Chains A and B, each alone.
Chain A
Amino acid sequence: MIRWILGAWAVFEKDVKLELRSRYAINMILLFVLAALFLVAFSVGQEALTPRIESALLWIVIVFSAALGLGRSFVSEEERGTVLLLLLHTRGDMVYAGKLLFNFLFVLGLNLVAVVTFVVMLGIEVISVSLLLTTIVLGALGLAGATTMLAAIIARTATRGPLLPVLVFPMLIPLLLAVVTATREALPGGEGWAAAGNEMLTLIGFAGVVISASIVLFDYVWYD
């Protein structure tokens, strides 16, 4: 068990170090989120939006950026030719756990940046900050769980890059519905925690099921 944690941590640490060295993904996603939010803010203009539309726009931007940013997590290993090294030194589930942890923190950071920018730019009032934060964390977990597995899948295809959104969007519909509803409850006109219990359960269940399914299926993708 301790070996497993150390192995997964080593994969995670490697990804963090590589990312901090180049900062390619971080900068790209940061700019993508900011540019997309600017587009949304300018196309909306001074119009007052309902909380439902506000949360829908926010999460659509987040889902698109996550699908764009996480697509590289396994493709980069193929391109650098480091897949064989990982295969030799670690087991498949360690690689999955390390990548999942990295992607989770990545999406969490992305969500925080997106939400703060969105709230400031559109002048949104938040009535339940704790609910919004919980939604962001659980949403990031489900999003990272689904995209990590699919990133491993597209690294095996011939075209690699642009396939990820096509594969991931149909799966994310339950997640998207739950996070949008929960976010709406955290904005004015919502009822806060009292009305979001069902959505929280859905988010926990979604993340749990997606991650368990990934653990079962990952080896079939990872080993040739």
Chain B
Amino acid sequence: MTTLAKRIVQGGPAGVNVRRYRIIRNIVLVAVTAIAIGGFLIDVPRIQILEHTARNLYFHVPMWFTLMAAVTFSAYHSIRFLQTGNLVRDVRAREAALVGIVFGILGLLTGMVWARFTWYQGTNIWWNFDPKQTMAAVQLLIYGAYFVLRSAIEEPQKRGRIAAVYNLFALVTVPFLLFILPRQAPSLHPGADGNPAFSDFTAPEMRWVLYPAFIAFIGLFWVLYTQRVRFSLIKLRLHGDSE
């Protein structure tokens, strides 16, 4: 490894603090394992039609939260890139979107499987136009377009600027879905039109797994994201371009 690359990996103004990274990575590894074990072994109250699928709560909901965290991260770094023109910000916005896509797809799949084998048991319905499901799908489409747009521009500074503009511009239209979608189709999620609120049916013992699961999944996002950022920063320093 060249000294330059070593310096980037081991820290510095734009790099990542490796000791802190290792500590957090180990905590996240333990936490995710504990969530997986606890999620499947700790007893859950049997609610009508949910039964054991209620365990999906520990995985589906944190994934959806992680997507929202990733979107916030990506948008924040896009704004900062437009302010500073520092390519490190562009790398961070891109990698947050990339890792966010992974969690978004997982959240979408767990949600679809959950609905199919509980509410739609015995039917052939996989896609149910649930507002939250559609919003996640739209955000994934936007990120797909974001990466297509990036691949169409050669010069790094220009690519960063245009991509940041698109990232923010497309994002402002997403909240409208919150307003318009619930009128199109009823939601399966708690707290929406007549469904019981989240706190009404969640047994206290489930929260002992659920709340740590939020932290564990966002931690997992952080680990993957910082790995990707370090990798891209090395490429950026060595080639002058991170893609």
Stretch at the interface among A68-76, A111-119, A127-135, A208-216: A208-216
Number of interface residues of B (CB under 8 A): 31
A174 touches B152 (CB 8 A): no
* Bound Cα distance from A163 to B177, whole angstroms: 24
Closest to A146 in B: B173
A217 touches B165 (CB 8 A): yes
Question: Is the interface on chain A under 10, 10 to 19, 20 to 34, or 35 or more residues?
Answer: 35 or more
A158 touches B168 (CB 8 A): no
B170 touches A221 (CB 8 A): no
Instruction: Mark each residue of chain A from 140 to 171: 1 if its CB lies under 8 Å from any CB of chain B, else 0.
Output: 00000010011001101111000100110111
* Bound Cα distance from A153 to B168, whole angstroms: 13
A177 within 8 A of B: yes
CB distance from A45 to the nearest CB of B (A): 28
Dominant SS among interface residues on chain B: helix
* Bound Cα distance from A9 to B180, whole angstroms: 35
B158 within 8 A of A: yes
B152 touches A157 (CB 8 A): yes
* Bound Cα distance from A202 to B149, whole angstroms: 28
Stretch at the interface among B18-26, B68-76, B138-146, B235-243: B138-146
A174 touches B141 (CB 8 A): no
A177 touches B184 (CB 8 A): yes
A178 touches B180 (CB 8 A): yes
A153 touches B166 (CB 8 A): yes
Query: A156-B162, A205-B176 are known contacts. Are A170 and B168 too (CB-CB below 8 A)?
Result: no
B149 touches A163 (CB 8 A): yes
A214 touches B169 (CB 8 A): yes
B residues whose Cβ falls under 8 Å from a Cβ of A: 82, 134, 138, 141-142, 144-145, 148-149, 152-154, 158, 161-162, 164-166, 168-170, 172-174, 176-177, 179-181, 183-184
A residues whose Cβ falls under 8 Å from a Cβ of B: 146, 149-150, 153-154, 156-159, 163, 166-167, 169-175, 177-178, 181, 198-199, 202, 205-206, 209-210, 213-214, 217, 220-221, 224
CB-CB nearest 4 A-B residue pairs: A174-B176, A170-B141, A157-B152, A170-B142
